[in-house]
Structure 1
Amino acid sequence: MTLALLLLACLLTCAGQIAQKYAVEGWRGADTGVAHKLRSPWLWLALLCLGLGLLVWLLVLQRLEVGIAYPMLSLNFVLITLVARYLFKESIDRRHWMGVGLVIAGVILLGQQA
């Protein structure tokens, strides 16, 4: 159950970050005011996902030590890298992929303690 909550917190956080990206992409090049930006559905989706992610994160912290739980959020780097590459068509160099591999290895090592 704890692992499922941790993964859910990661997924919600990543979804929120993706929604943020879509929100700001919609604002690019437009000279609009704050009121227009506040009407962006992507912005509200981002706030919803990040808010739910925070609530799930609090449940995770009730079950795991912060020294174990927090480094597990590094999975966000992995997920966002994959999204950047395949959804937003951003180029990711070899050094970045090596870093992602190290993050995955670290999460696996820490996961064995949980």
Structure 2
Amino acid sequence: MKDFILFALIVVAGTGGELCVSRAMKSVGEAKGFHPAELARLILRALREPWMWLGVAMMASGFFALLGALAALPVSFVVPMTALSYVIGVFGGVTFLKEKVTRQRWIGVALVALGVSLVLLGKR
């Protein structure tokens, strides 16, 4: 059960954090140039976004859960299991960020999910 909680935190918190940071940066906009003053304004705008802070906190939680999993389980199991982040990321992109996903990408997501399933079955 502890392993399940760690992997849920790694995948949900880590990927959720990436989605939140992406949402924050979409509202901030992109840098128009690489002049230091422009970059400073962009960073300050990003730091005023609540989604940015939520995303950073979630990604930190996911990272510490990953450290816990790496301390308790073999790397050859932990790293492939974290690939579930790609699956959750696509679903999050579709639902949370309203992104369009092509058929090829959905096939790739299905293959990743299949690979994670095989790793999980091999643990037993």
Say yes or no: TM over 0.5. yes
- SS of the equivalent of 1:103 reads helix
In structure 1, runs of 5+ residues without a counterpart are: none
Counterpart for residue 14 of structure 1: 15
Larger deviation, residues 85-94 vs 96-105: 85-94
| TM-score calculated relative to the size of structure 2 | 0.82
Larger Rg: 2
Q: Does 2:12 correspond to 1:3?
A: no
Cα offsets for 1:27-75 (capped at 9, x unmatched): 0279871323222211111111111111111111122111111111111
Q: Does 2:106 correspond to 1:97?
A: yes
Q: Which one-letter code corresponds to 2:4 in the other structure?
A: L
Aligned residues: 114
Q: Which one-letter code corresponds to 2:56 in the other structure?
A: L
Q: 1:39 aligns with which of 48, 54, 65?
A: 48
In structure 2, runs of 5+ residues without a counterpart are: 33-37
Q: CA RMSD in A?
A: 1.9
Partners of 1:30 and 1:104 in 2: CA distance: 35
Partners of 1:30 and 1:69 in 2: CA distance: 36
Q: Which one-letter code corresponds to 2:116 in the other structure?
A: V
Counterpart for residue 75 of structure 2: 66
